[in-house]
């Protein structure tokens, strides 16, 4: 187990230093104050679709760590929302 941990630490260190990072957190960040219900909905959808956009999954329902499942149970989304389609977001959403 120790070799695996050492190898993993080395890979993380190389990745961070290659990006100019000093720790595990990104240097850049932004904060955004949600202005209204529409703004909230746009940001929630951005968060739900982001793993699809990054190529980690094909549909938001495949991401087990997402609040998307709760929204589906509440009837806010169909299970196939975001599957097989590219969703275009306002340029500002997720990049404030």
The 10s digit of each residue's pLDDT in 31-85 is 778 999 999 999 999 899 989 988 899 999 999 999 999 999 999 999 999 998 7
* 65 classed as catalytic: yes
The answer to the question of residue 14 being in a domain is no
Q: Mean per-residue pLDDT for 3-22?
A: 57
Whole-number Å distance between alpha carbons of 21 and 81: 35
Q: Residue 10 pLDDT > 60, yes or no?
A: yes
For the record, the structure tokens of 57 come out as: 């999954």
Catalytic one of 46, 65, 71, 77: 65
* Average pLDDT rounded to a whole number, residues 25-29: 63
Structural domain tally of the chain? 1
- Residue 22, in any domain of the structure: no
Lowest mean pLDDT among 26-30, 36-40, 69-73, 88-92: 26-30
| Domain membership of residue 48 as a residue range | 36-88
């Amino acid at each position: 187990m120790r070799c695996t941990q050492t190898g993993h630490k080395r890979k993380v260190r190389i990745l961070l230093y290659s990006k100019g990072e000093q720790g595990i957190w990104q240097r850049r960040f932004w904060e955004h104050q949600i202005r209204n219900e529409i703004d909230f909905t746009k940001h929630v959808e951005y968060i739900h679709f982001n793993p699809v956009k990054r190529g980690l999954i094909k549909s938001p329902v495949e991401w087990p760590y997402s609040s998307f499942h709760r929204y589906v149970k509440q009837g806010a989304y169909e299970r196939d929302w975001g599957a097989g389609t590219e969703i275009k977001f306002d340029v500002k959403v997720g990049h404030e």
